[in-house]
Amino acid sequence: METNAAETRSAVPRSVRARLRIHRAREARLAGERSPVAPRAEISASWDRVRRYGVDPDQSTQSVRLDMDEIEHRRRTSALSEVMPLLSESLVTLADSAQQIVVVTDVEGRVLWRQGNPAVLRRADGICLAEGAAWAEASTGTNAIGTALASRTPVQVHSSEHFVRGLHGWTCAAAPVRDPRDGRLMGIVDISGPASTFHPTSLALVGSVARLAESEIRSRHLRAIDRLRSVAAPLLCRLGGRALAVDTHGWLAAVIGMPPVDRLPLPKSLQPGRVWLSSLGMCQVEPLHGGWLVRVTDGPADGPQRKVVLDLSRPCGLAVNVVGAVGTWTQRLSPRHAELLFALALHREGRTASELAEDVFGDATRTVTVRAEISRIRRHLAEVLAHRPYRFGEGVEVEVIRPDQPADLLPRSTAPVVVGARTAS
C-alpha cells in the first residue's frame, strides 16, 4: 500500500523534522540562498558573525590548548573559583544523570573546569571540549559558550544549529555569569551532551544556576565588607580627618571626611606606608584584617584629574608621565612595556590578554607573557590602569607623543600594533 506525504511526515519524529529544517536553513545560508525556514534570531546572528570571522563549517573543533600553568593561573584569579563548589552541587549531579557535562569558561571562552558523566567527558575530548580549549565563536563557530559570550545572554544551541558540522551530534546550553559588584562578565556556565540528551528546560536550568552563582558572590562580598566595616568604623571615628577603609580589591567599607566612592583603585602590589594614589593624592596606607586603612595626607578632597602622557618621541628615552593634582611623576619604560601601553592607548575600550598578545607578538596564545608584563607595569601604574579587560581607567586622559617621522615610532619594534600605526600614519 502506498503512503501519502502526510503519513510519511507523521512517521518522522517531530524533533528529527525540526533538525532537518534547521539543517536545510543552514545549508542555504552557506550557499547564499534564501531558505523557506529561518533559524532562531540568535542563531542567525551568530551564523552571520562566524562567517565574517572566516570560520570553515568543515573545520575541526581542535584548538591550541593553554598549558596547565596558565590554566591554574586563570583558575586562581577567577572569581568563579569561589563558587565552583556551588556550581558542582547545583549542576553536576543533574548533568551526570542526564548524560551531560558541566563546563565553566573564562571571559575569553577558554575552558577552566569541566565535570559530569565520565562517558560524555571522554566523548568531549574528541571535540576538544576540554580544559584550556578555545570555545569563542571566532575559534569554534556557533556554540552555546561562544554565542553566550558574544550576545551576553543565555543561549541554547542544538545539533545543526552549530556552525561547524563536527558539532551536529551535540546539544548545549550556556549562560553568562557577571560580577554582581560591577556587572562585568566573569565567565560562562555551560551544560553539554550528545544531541539525544536535548531538553528544552536546560536553558532555564543553566540560567538559574548562573544567577545563583552571582547571588553567592554578592553574599560573600557583603559579608566580608560587613566584617571589615565593624572593625574599621570605630577606628575611623577616632582618627578623624579624611580616611577610608577598603577591602583588598578596593571596595569601600567605611569612610569619613570625604564623599564615599564605590571602589578605590589600588596598586596591585600595595604595601604599607606612604603611597601616592592618583585618585586621592599622597596617602598613608595601613593593613586591616581583610583590607586596608587609607588616610589622605595631601591633595584635594574630591581627588585630582588624572592624565597619562605616553612619550614615544625619543627611542632612547621612552617614558610615561602621570599628571595629578599633587604633581607629576615619570616612569621609564622598556620597549616591550611601551608597546603594551601604546596598544592600550589605541584601544581605550580595553584589550584581553589574548588580544594584547596578538597586538604585540602576533600570537594570541602568548597570554602568560602578556600577563606577566602587565603585572610588572601595574606595580607602578595601578592607579591609572584597570584590568578585566586591561585598559586605562575611566576618567584618565591619555596623550601619546609620537616622533615627527612615522618610521621612528618604536623603530626596532615588530609588534603588529606598532607596524600598523607606522603604516597608517
129 with 177, same domain: the answer is yes
| Closest to 250 in 3D by CA, of 216, 285, 302 | 285
Grid cell at residue 179:
560580577
Grid cell at residue 6:
502526510
106 with 184, same domain: the answer is yes
Residue 320 belongs to what domain range? 306-403
pLDDT(88) > 90: no
pLDDT attached to residue 386: 84
Look at residue 4 and tell me if it is in a domain. Answer: no
Q: Which residues contact 291 (CB under 8 A, 6 or more apart)?
A: 228, 232, 245, 246, 247, 248, 253
Helical H segments across 183-201, by residue range? none
Q: How far is CA 51 from CA 40, 75, 137, 145, in A?
A: 17, 31, 10, 17
pLDDT attached to residue 302: 43
- Distance (Å, whole) CA 293 – CA 309: 30
**Is there a contact between 63 and 73 (Cβ–Cβ < 8 Å)?**
no
- Distance (Å, whole) CA 361 – CA 370: 9
pLDDT attached to residue 423: 84
248 with 380, same domain: the answer is no
pLDDT(228) > 90: yes
95 with 210, same domain: the answer is yes
Look at residue 421 and tell me if it is in a domain. Answer: no
Backbone angles phi, psi at 272, to 5 degrees: -60, 150
Task: Give the length of the chain.
Answer: 425
pLDDT attached to residue 27: 66
Give me the residue label for grid cell 519524529.
13
The count of structural domains within the chain is: 3
Q: Inter-axis angle of helices 353-361 and 416-424, to 10 degrees?
A: 60
278 with 326, same domain: the answer is no
pLDDT attached to residue 39: 82
pLDDT(15) > 70: no
328 with 185, same domain: the answer is no
Which of 10-14, 130-134, 334-338, 411-415 has the largest mean confidence? 130-134
35 with 184, same domain: the answer is yes
- Distance (Å, whole) CA 336 – CA 270: 23
The residues with which 390 forms a beta bridge, in sequence order, are 351
Look at residue 288 and tell me if it is in a domain. Answer: yes
- Round the average pLDDT of the chain to a whole number and report it: 86
CATH number at residue 350: 1.10.10.10
The pLDDT confidence band at residue 77, using thresholds 50, 70 and 90, is confident
pLDDT attached to residue 395: 77
pLDDT(122) > 50: yes
How far apart are the two ends of the chain, measured CA to CA in Å?
A: 77
284 with 153, same domain: the answer is no
The pLDDT confidence band at residue 305, using thresholds 50, 70 and 90, is low
314 with 385, same domain: the answer is yes
> Is the four-CA dihedral 52, 64, 388, 422 of positive or negative sign?
negative
Look at residue 206 and tell me if it is in a domain. Answer: yes
Could you give the count of Cα atoms lying within 13 Å of 263 in the half-sphere of its Cβ? Answer: 14
Give me the residue label for grid cell 597586538.
359
The pLDDT confidence band at residue 36, using thresholds 50, 70 and 90, is low
- Distance (Å, whole) CA 354 – CA 357: 5
322-355 in b/e form (b: 16+ CB < 10 A) is bbbebeeeeeebeebbbbbbbbbbebeeebbbbb
| Closest to 380 in 3D by CA, of 276, 281, 298, 245 | 276
pLDDT attached to residue 126: 96
Other beta carbons less than 10 A from residue 233's beta carbon: 14
The pLDDT confidence band at residue 21, using thresholds 50, 70 and 90, is low
Q: Which residues contact 238 (CB under 8 A, 6 or more apart)?
A: none
pLDDT by residue (tens digit) across 208-224?
Answer: 999 999 999 999 999 99
Look at residue 87 and tell me if it is in a domain. Answer: yes
| Closest to 209 in 3D by CA, of 81, 96, 86, 106 | 86
CATH number at residue 40: 3.30.450.40
Look at residue 226 and tell me if it is in a domain. Answer: no
Look at residue 234 and tell me if it is in a domain. Answer: no
pLDDT by residue (tens digit) across 248-275?
Answer: 889 999 999 988 888 898 887 787 888 8
pLDDT attached to residue 5: 47
pLDDT attached to residue 303: 42
pLDDT(379) > 90: no
Would you give the distance in Å from CA 352 to the centre of its chain?
A: 7
86 with 138, same domain: the answer is yes
pLDDT attached to residue 259: 86
pLDDT by residue (tens digit) across 234-251?
Answer: 989 888 789 999 998 899
Look at residue 156 and tell me if it is in a domain. Answer: yes
315 with 378, same domain: the answer is yes
Greatest Cα-to-Cα distance within the chain, rounded to the nearest angstrom: 96
pLDDT(353) > 70: yes
pLDDT(101) > 90: yes
Using omega within 30 degrees of 0 as the cis cutoff, is the peptide bond preceding 389 cis?
A: yes
pLDDT(89) > 90: no
85 with 154, same domain: the answer is yes
The residue out of 270, 296, 322 marking a domain boundary is 296
